């Protein structure tokens, strides 16, 4: 990956001698950020919305059309204890695969490819819920969804380290996380609407819910694969000068992220820290 270490002899970020230079640099930061925001934020917010819908739809499916005996709980013989087990195993799978997923991302995959593949796998598994007939199948699919979701949000955070300085990232992350609230609202509305097509085509409402949300995720995944930008130095929608400035401002902030291999000791520490946080 190509990195730039300077802009030119007269525009280096450190060469600020008076108030006009400070104002010019600040203006340039703002212009570049707005350009990056319009490219990254809408798409990332939307795909995280889909991610959260896929994660939380089991709660809606559990009780959808229960009055007619067509809910996920009734059709699979799920008990309240079984439902709790399903949620717990999802959390366990999510925690166990968090660190390995990030390790794969750092060493082998570009962010857009990684997030796109995770979306395709998660969407396919969501579609698989439309075929479930018993609780063991629900457990297996839910565990695999936890595996593929483990690397999704960390992958998005990893992506922004190539675009934003440290003090800018918290606002970006907060904006993305806010979409989970929208997912809760949209998820309930979608489930309510799907309840009216119960038994259409011989399928219960909860199956239609998984089909609709899983299909949406699979269809959006190619957009992530081919449209989500990876690095400033390869972004064709930035000028050469903007590419250089985008990389240099990160260097001035403490360094451009690299894809250097982490040592086995660092990996073990991260895995141990993740395990401790899960236990506590």
Go through the domains of the chain in sequence order and give each one's CATH number. 19-279 (1.20.1250.20)
- At 82 the pLDDT is 92
Positions in the chain whose pLDDT score sits under 50: 1-16, 277-280
Helix extents (H) in the chain: 19-63, 72-76, 80-96, 98-108, 111-128, 135-149, 152-160, 166-194, 205-227, 240-252, 264-279
| Cα–Cα distance for residue pair 39/167, rounded to 1 Å | 19
What tokens appear for 201 in the block?
């085509």
| Cα–Cα distance for residue pair 225/205, rounded to 1 Å | 31
- At 254 the pLDDT is 64
- At 21 the pLDDT is 72
- At 55 the pLDDT is 85
- At 109 the pLDDT is 85
pTM above 0.75, yes or no: yes
- At 8 the pLDDT is 43
Tokens 């939380």 found at: 56
Please tell me whether residue 204 adopts helix, strand or coil conformation: coil
């Amino acid at each position: 990956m190509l990195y730039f270490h300077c802009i030119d002899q007269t525009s280096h970020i450190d060469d600020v001698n008076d108030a006009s230079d400070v104002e010019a640099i600040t203006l340039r930061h703002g212009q570049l950020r707005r350009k990056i925001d319009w490219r990254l934020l809408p798409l990332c917010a939307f795909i995280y919305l889909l991610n959260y819908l896929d994660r939380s739809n089991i709660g809606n499916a559990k009780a959808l059309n229960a009055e007619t005996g067509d809910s996920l709980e009734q059709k699979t013989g799920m008990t309240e204890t079984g439902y709790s087990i399903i949620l717990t195993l999802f959390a366990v799978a999510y925690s166990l695969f968090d660190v390995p997923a990030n390790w794969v991302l750092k060493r082998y995959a570009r962010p857009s490819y990684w997030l796109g593949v995770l979306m395709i796998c998660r969407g396919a598994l969501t579609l698989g819920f439309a075929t479930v007939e018993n609780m063991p199948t629900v457990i297996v699919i839910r565990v695999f969804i936890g595996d593929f979701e483990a690397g999704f949000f960390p992958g998005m955070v990893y992506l922004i380290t190539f675009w934003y300085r440290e003090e800018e990232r918290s606002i970006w992350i907060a904006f993305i996380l806010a979409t989970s609230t929208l997912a809760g609202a949209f998820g309930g509305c979608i489930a309510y609407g799907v309840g009216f097509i119960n038994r259409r085509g011989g399928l219960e409402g909860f199956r239609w819910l998984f089909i609709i949300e899983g299909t949406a995720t699979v269809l959006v995944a190619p957009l992530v694969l081919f449209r989500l930008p990876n690095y400033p130095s390869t972004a064709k929608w930035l000028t050469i000068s903007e590419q250089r400035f985008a990389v240099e401002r990160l260097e001035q902030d403490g360094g451009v992220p690299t894809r250097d291999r982490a040592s086995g000791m660092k990996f073990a520490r991260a895995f141990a820290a993740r395990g401790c946080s899960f236990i506590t």
